Chains A and B, each alone.
Chain A
């Protein structure tokens, strides 16, 4: 079975849950930025949670299948149509071979995940199908999709599932001001007291110069106590690094694996979906939490996702 890309969209890449474990060689994990939404899209069509999907950014692709195919969309809400029929976010449906699927423009959030039953069958590079464009690896030739691309669809996992739907609480709500819970450190001492306090009280704006390596913020500069250059050390997803200009950057899945900027805080795992879906211009602030609170939040998020898959008649 084959998907034909008719229009590529702004930035559409093949993503699965990435290739963690090679940071020592400078290879970032990549994979879906909003991993929760990616997993949800897979669960809706009965795939393993780590199957490869299409990560659509702001303006999605237009594509067609050569046979009827069960598909789903999760993450950013888009004005999606299959042929002339509007498609609801978070519901599995059959895409007919005669219809083109127009993922459309994101209305809330940034990244929408299109899962197809059987998964996108791109070559496995270093243990994953995830695309890392800067290094040119994974996905389709290590690049974003282009019009005319043909994508193979993997074997059907068996047992045709009932139609499935995501409950309203399965994924974090994407609306209004974004509040990211974050654990202070690991380099608080690189900032002045005013810088640290200011960071947790300031309201930032999401910069349009954000991408999969990091979400850049604009607003009040965070005051550094010393030079921002430290000995480079390993980076994690969600780390908030502050370069010399004082403007924080929240690191994403395509980040460099080591970096020498001071990090004032680290966004909790449970809130990474909100980072991935932060639209340029949106107001954003940080809230300091403890590790215990972060872990509790993650357990709640996981439970909400797994309990939030409903079967329809």
Chain B
């Protein structure tokens, strides 16, 4: 459902978030995934009989460039904070700062904290209510701070040939020659925005715009371990031989995932990476 000013009087405005509504029923809030429950201690909301006014914010989109934040329930035991701005790097840095804060300062009821491209997912233990500290951390305006890991990981890559069967295709789609693709790919210092797809698989941010290439129409049934690839605006490395649809441009011998270590991934969220042609 969407709150309407007729049924739910507007009691104020927030420049940051938009209209502030007066809500009188718990169901109004529980039913509405389009609402931001900013600053509302959810556990009180569910337990306390409902008296009087209650602040909640309607989510609005903002002008490009601004970073708008929303908190949504995902099912009955997870909260998703979305950073809804135009700049992917800015949004991801905010998500990382919040990830660092929540994983280091909160515990107990929080069983997992997972950064996404522009979001942070917080998973609670089954049946646990989010604490006030967690709700206010999630609802806070864009957290400050920088990406975490100051270590720069250098990854040596053999580009092209059998190791990078799609280098030619990437060159063709970006209207460059293969040497130019390699030069552009090895130029930036990338940041690990988040991991996923398979254990230890890093989604690296910072790919030069010209190299952004759609995934292959038909995914490969087997992409070898260590393959360096491009998928849309991201570049990444396959930690293990799996099926995959990204454009493979090279290969490295660096071991990205080792279940015997904890943390098991070489490249954690926020880590910096450079590729070096060998």
Q: Tell whether, in the assembled complex, residue B33 and residue A29 are in contact, meaning their CB atoms are under 8 Å apart.
A: no
In the complex, identify which listed stretch (A66-74, A103-111, A214-222, A290-298) lies at the interface while the others stay far away: A290-298
Whole-angstrom distance between the Cβ of A253 and the nearest chain B Cβ: 12
Q: How many Å lie between the Cα of A217 and that of B140 in the bound state?
A: 38
Q: Tell whether, in the assembled complex, residue A294 and residue B75 are in contact, meaning their CB atoms are under 8 Å apart.
A: yes
Contacts of A127 in B (CB 8 A): 262
Q: Is B78 an interface residue (CB 8 A)?
A: yes
Partner of B113, one of A24, A182, A266, A269: A24
Q: Tell whether, in the assembled complex, residue B76 and residue A268 are in contact, meaning their CB atoms are under 8 Å apart.
A: yes
Contacts of B115 in A (CB 8 A): 24, 234
Q: Tell whether, in the assembled complex, residue A266 and residue B75 are in contact, meaning their CB atoms are under 8 Å apart.
A: yes
Contacts of A269 in B (CB 8 A): 75-77, 126-127
Known contacts: A22-B263, A258-B195, A258-B197. The answer to whether A234 contacts B120 by CB under 8 A is: yes
**Can you list, as one digit per residue, whether each of B188-208 has a CB less than 8 Å from chain A (1) or not (0)?**
000000111111110100000
Whole-angstrom distance between the Cβ of B99 and the nearest chain A Cβ: 7
Q: Is B106 an interface residue (CB 8 A)?
A: no
Q: Is A177 an interface residue (CB 8 A)?
A: no
Whole-angstrom distance between the Cβ of A37 and the nearest chain B Cβ: 15
Contacts of B117 in A (CB 8 A): 231-233
B190-235 contacts to A (CB < 8 Å)? 194-201, 203, 232
Contacts of A295 in B (CB 8 A): 46, 76, 127
Q: Is A9 an interface residue (CB 8 A)?
A: no
A286-310 contacts to B (CB < 8 Å)? 290-292, 294-295, 298-299, 302
Contacts of B265 in A (CB 8 A): 25-27
Whole-angstrom distance between the Cβ of A288 and the nearest chain B Cβ: 9
For the residues of A in contact with B, the DSSP-based class is mixed
Known contacts: A185-B72, A269-B77. The answer to whether A21 contacts B242 by CB under 8 A is: no
Q: Is B26 an interface residue (CB 8 A)?
A: yes
Q: Is A90 an interface residue (CB 8 A)?
A: no
Known contacts: A256-B196, A269-B126. The answer to whether A231 contacts B118 by CB under 8 A is: yes
Number of chain B interface residues as a range: 35 or more
B157-214 contacts to A (CB < 8 Å)? 194-201, 203
Q: Tell whether, in the assembled complex, residue B240 and residue A266 are in contact, meaning their CB atoms are under 8 Å apart.
A: no
Partner of B31, one of A132, A290, A302: A290
Q: Tell whether, in the assembled complex, residue B80 and residue A183 are in contact, meaning their CB atoms are under 8 Å apart.
A: no
**Can you list, as one digit per residue, whether each of A264-295 has a CB less than 8 Å from chain B (1) or not (0)?**
00111100000000000000000000111011
Contacts of B111 in A (CB 8 A): 20-21
Q: Tell whether, in the assembled complex, residue B77 and residue A21 are in contact, meaning their CB atoms are under 8 Å apart.
A: no
Q: Is A257 an interface residue (CB 8 A)?
A: yes
Q: Tell whether, in the assembled complex, residue A125 and residue B259 are in contact, meaning their CB atoms are under 8 Å apart.
A: yes
Q: Is A75 an interface residue (CB 8 A)?
A: no
Q: Tell whether, in the assembled complex, residue B114 and residue A183 are in contact, meaning their CB atoms are under 8 Å apart.
A: no
Q: Is A184 an interface residue (CB 8 A)?
A: yes
**Can you list, as one digit per residue, whether each of A107-121 has a CB less than 8 Å from chain B (1) or not (0)?**
000000000000000
Q: Is B38 an interface residue (CB 8 A)?
A: no
Contacts of B76 in A (CB 8 A): 183, 266, 268-269, 291, 294-295, 298
Whole-angstrom distance between the Cβ of A230 and the nearest chain B Cβ: 9
Partner of B199, one of A25, A229, A267, A268: A25
Partner of A26, one of B31, B77, B119, B198: B198
In chain B, what residue has the closest Cβ to A127? B262
B71-97 contacts to A (CB < 8 Å)? 72-78, 80, 82, 88
Q: Tell whether, in the assembled complex, residue B196 and residue A136 are in contact, meaning their CB atoms are under 8 Å apart.
A: no
In chain A, what residue has the closest Cβ to B262? A126
Known contacts: A25-B264, A258-B195. The answer to whether A234 contacts B72 by CB under 8 A is: no
Q: Is A188 an interface residue (CB 8 A)?
A: yes
Q: Tell whether, in the assembled complex, residue B242 and residue A298 are in contact, meaning their CB atoms are under 8 Å apart.
A: no
Q: Tell whether, in the assembled complex, residue A239 and residue B116 are in contact, meaning their CB atoms are under 8 Å apart.
A: no
Q: Is B112 an interface residue (CB 8 A)?
A: yes
Q: Tell whether, in the assembled complex, residue B73 and residue A186 are in contact, meaning their CB atoms are under 8 Å apart.
A: yes
Q: Is A247 an interface residue (CB 8 A)?
A: no
Q: How many Å lie between the Cα of A266 and that of B78 in the bound state?
A: 10
Q: Tell whether, in the assembled complex, residue B263 and residue A231 are in contact, meaning their CB atoms are under 8 Å apart.
A: no
Q: How many Å lie between the Cα of A64 and that of B42 in the bound state?
A: 51
Contacts of A291 in B (CB 8 A): 30, 46, 73, 76
Q: Tell whether, in the assembled complex, residue A232 and residue B194 are in contact, meaning their CB atoms are under 8 Å apart.
A: yes
In chain A, what residue has the closest Cβ to B117? A231
Contacts of A183 in B (CB 8 A): 33, 73, 75-76
Known contacts: A20-B112, A29-B112, A295-B127. The answer to whether A233 contacts B121 by CB under 8 A is: yes
| The 7 A-B residue pairs with the shortest CB-CB distance in the complex, in nearest-first order | A234-B121, A258-B196, A266-B75, A234-B114, A233-B116, A185-B33, A294-B76
- What are some 6 contacts across the A-B interface (CB < 8 A)? A21-B111, A25-B199, A26-B195, A229-B232, A266-B78, A268-B75
9 extra A-B contacts, CB within 8 A, seeds A25-B265, A257-B114? A24-B268, A25-B264, A27-B264, A185-B34, A257-B196, A291-B30, A291-B46, A291-B76, A295-B76
